[in-house]
Amino acid sequence: MPEPQAISLEAKNPFELRVKLGNDVPEQTVREALATGDMGFVHSFTTGSTVDGPGVRVVAWTTGCMWRCRYCHNPDTWTLSNGMPVSVARAAEELGKYREGLKVMKGGFTLSGGDPLMQHRFAAKLLAAAKAMGIHTTIETNGYYGDKLSDAELNSIDLVMLGIKTWDPARHKALTGMDVAPTLAFARRLAVRRQPIWIRFVLVPGLTDDMDDLARTAEFAAGLGNVERVEVLPFHQMGRFKWERLGLAYTLEKVEAPTAEVVERACEVLRKAGLKAY
Ligand code: SF4
């Protein structure tokens, strides 16, 4: 199956709406891609990110996510076939162009999504290719499919940016549609391996701003011993247009970004548990 060349792999930013780029890929080819990881489905590559891991990053945004977070700002990445089919060789070649620059800028490669572990074979191969080029590797994931990576494959990952949404199981289910337990199990596995984690926590007024709930998350994270920092990400409305364009029912139109005081209060809860929080 030839890869489409008309659409650039590189997007200006992940907020670019991209849909149906992989619609023409036959079902059998999709199945083989998922099984072998020789081909993946990618929303886009972005370069020059300073918020997706240490230093300056090249980020590959894969498609496919099994969660349905009510505040997701990239719902076009939920569907695998919205991404363009890219062979692992081409993705690695693209990455190789930035190899030296990334080293100079003390940055690296981040595999994000969607959830990149929806395509765990592709993720494992691309991260191994990056590591083999001497590039610092980060994966940004909700961790639900963390058990799909072997210990040897985890060795190709220098940093895991793990999205923890909320502690309470019922609240988590209502917010994401999925259970929180696999994410926490993945965090524990990484802790046993002493593999660094940065936690990403999206602060959404009325949904995730219960400070007692956050204190439970903080206690868990601090107890792991491998959480280097927690990033508190204030909710924003930048992804709303995607929900509307995709015909999805957006439920947060009346929710405003948290105030600086509430963000600081959340950081204090995390710091009180002994974590670095920004
Ligand atoms: S896990 Fe990430 S990509 Fe998936 S729905 Fe939630 S915010 Fe969106």
* Nearest ligand 1 atom, CA 77: 3
The secondary structure of the chain, three-state, reads CCCCCCCCCECCCCCCCCCCCCCCCCHHHHHHHHHHCCEEEEEEEEEEECCCCCCCEEEEEECCCCCCCCCCCCHHHCCHHHCEEEEHHHHHHHHHCCHHHHHHCCCEEEEECCCHHHHHHHHHHHHHHHHHCCCEEEEEECCCCHHHCCHHHHCCCCEEEEECCCCCHHHHHHHHCCCCHHHHHHHHHHHHCCCCEEEEEEECCCCCCCHHHHHHHHHHHHHHCCEEEEEEEECCCCCHHHHHHCCCCCCCCCCCCCCHHHHHHHHHHHHHCCCCEC
pLDDT in tens, the chain (278 residues): 545 444 566 766 667 787 888 888 999 999 999 999 999 999 989 999 999 999 999 999 999 999 999 999 999 999 999 999 999 999 999 999 999 999 999 999 999 999 999 999 999 999 999 999 999 999 999 999 999 999 999 999 999 999 999 999 999 999 999 999 999 999 999 999 999 999 999 999 999 999 999 999 999 999 999 999 999 999 999 999 999 999 999 999 999 999 999 999 999 999 999 999 99
Question: What is the CB < 6 Å shell around ligand 1?
Answer: 65, 67-69, 72, 74, 77, 113-115, 142, 163, 176
Q: Count CB neighbours of 169 within 10 A.
A: 12
* Nearest ligand 1 atom, CA 114: 3
Ligand 1: centre distance to CA 142 (Å): 7
pLDDT at residue 20, as a whole number: 81
Which residues share a beta bridge with 44? 61
Name the residue of 18, 65, 110, 172 whose CB sits within 8 Å of the most ligand 1 atoms, as the mutation to test its pocket. 65
Ligand 1: centre distance to CA 26 (Å): 26
Ligand 1: centre distance to CA 69 (Å): 5
Supply the residue whose CA is at minimum distance from atom 2 of ligand 1. 114
Ligand 1: centre distance to CA 179 (Å): 13
Query: CA 99 to CA 137: how far, in whole Å?
Result: 12
Ligand 1: centre distance to CA 147 (Å): 18
